């Protein structure tokens, strides 16, 4: 069970899918998905249990219970949804983002389309459908299904609006030793590919809020967020999920390259980029 193909290649292939084929998800694929998400050993390391993930099947957006799950027209023909739940605090959101993204990558490997959603779904209708633990809320969901060959004009337009194919370059995201110097690919050394995987990852409205500082001795990589001002409108900080996604892309790439490392919250107290920047986590090679 678990990943069988190169996860680095899978990260290169993944893109948000909003238009699905009407073909049902096969029994074999459902079984693989449910085995993957019910295996906590597989899902939650390295941070421990950070939330819940449930699958909900739909026909014409209506569930078995007869509940209509709304996505405001953003998603066409999904066959199911994966719905996440966790607590509304900084580290739960970061660590849950990591876990949920691991599932997204596994689904991509199975050639099942996904689209991280934090905003364009009707939270009330999803809340009715799943079993929500005390103190949990739904920070994200993704539709599931096989991608329709031809993406709709709507999807193409949306990709342009959020500049989905416009990923920031290294010098806008990654720093060398401190925030005073930018990091080049050549200087990233053995971490070039893991850092590149951070760059190509998905983020809410494609804002790419992650900022990394690689220590001078190349042992530690510090993960920071540069919050987008006024983005926090839905009662939780969606961009913290983006941080978990970045950490997942980085970590799984390291694992594939046999670079062993560990995560710690150990703020080096560097001078920050600006008032919107906040320290999140550090990864160090073992
Ligand atoms: C935390 C998070 C929330 C998102 N919320 C939505 C959403 O509500 N609706 C939507 O259509 N896309 C949403 N997206 C998808 C992004 O727009 C998309 O990842 C980004 O534009 C980059 O495109 P790509 O995923 O194809 O690389 C979200 C992505 C993330 C990571």
| Ligand 1 contact via 10 beta carbon (within 6 Å) | no
- How many C-beta atoms surround the C-beta of residue 109 within 10 A? 19
The residue to mutate among 70, 97, 116, having the most atoms of ligand 1 within 8 angstroms of its beta carbon, is 116
**Residue 70 — left, alpha, or beta (φ > 0 → left; ψ -120 to 50 → alpha)?**
beta
Q: Summarize pLDDT for 191-235 with one digit per residue, the tens.
A: 999 999 999 999 999 999 999 999 999 999 999 999 999 998 899
Q: Summarize pLDDT for 66-79 with one digit per residue, the tens.
A: 999 999 889 999 99
Within the chain, all domains assigned CATH 3.40.109.10 are found at 7-156
Atom number in ligand 1 closest to CA 139: 1
118: CA distance to ligand 1 center in Å? 8
Task: Kindly report the CATH number that applies to the domain delimited by 170-285.
Answer: 3.40.109.30
**Residue 255 — left, alpha, or beta (φ > 0 → left; ψ -120 to 50 → alpha)?**
alpha
Q: Summarize pLDDT for 127-181 with one digit per residue, the tens.
A: 999 999 999 999 999 999 999 987 788 888 888 888 888 999 999 999 999 999 9
The residue to mutate among 206, 232, 234, having the most atoms of ligand 1 within 8 angstroms of its beta carbon, is 206
Query: Among 259, 160, 283, 137, which Cα is nearest to 210's?
Result: 283
Within the chain, all domains assigned CATH 3.40.109.30 are found at 170-285
Higher-confidence position of 100 and 131? 100
Give the three-class secondary structure for 112.
coil
Return mean pLDDT, the chain: 95
| Ligand 1 contact via 243 beta carbon (within 6 Å) | no
Task: Kindly report the CATH number that applies to the domain delimited by 7-156.
Answer: 3.40.109.10
Backbone φ, ψ for residue 81 (5° rounding): -130, 150
pLDDT band at residue 1 under the 50/70/90 scheme: low
């Amino acid at each position: 069970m678990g990943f069988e193909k190169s996860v680095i290649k899978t990260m290169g292939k993944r893109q948000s899918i909003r238009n699905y084929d009407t073909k049902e998800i096969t029994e074999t694929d459902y079984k693989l998905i449910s085995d993957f998400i019910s295996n906590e050993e597989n899902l939650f390391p390295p941070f421990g249990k950070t939330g819940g993930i449930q699958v909900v099947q739909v026909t014409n957006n209506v569930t078995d219970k007869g509940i209509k799950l709304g996505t405001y027209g953003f998603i066409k023909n999904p066959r199911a949804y994966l719905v996440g739940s966790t607590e509304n605090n900084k580290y739960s959101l970061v660590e849950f983002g990591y876990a949920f993204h691991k599932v997204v990558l596994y689904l991509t490997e199975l050639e099942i389309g996904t689209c991280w959603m934090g905003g364009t779904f009707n939270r009330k209708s999803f809340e009715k459908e799943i079993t929500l633990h005390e103190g949990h809320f739904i920070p994200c969901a993704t539709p599931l299904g096989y991608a329709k060959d031809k993406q709709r004009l709507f999807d193409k337009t949306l990709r342009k609006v959020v500049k989905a194919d416009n990923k920031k370059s290294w010098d806008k995201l990654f720093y060398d030793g401190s925030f005073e110097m930018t990091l080049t690919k050549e200087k990233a050394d053995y971490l070039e590919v893991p850092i590149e995987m951070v760059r190509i990852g998905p983020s809410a409205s494609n804002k790419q809020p992650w900022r990394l500082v690689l220590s001078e001795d190349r042992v530690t990589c510090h993960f920071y967020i540069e919050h987008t001002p006024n983005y926090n409108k839905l009662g939780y900080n969606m961009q913290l999920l983006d941080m978990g996604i970045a950490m997942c892309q980085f970590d799984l790439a390291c694992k594939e390259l046999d670079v062993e490392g560990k995560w710690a919250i150990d703020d080096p107290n560097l001078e920050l980029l600006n008032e919107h920047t906040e320290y999140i986590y550090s990864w160090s090679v073992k």
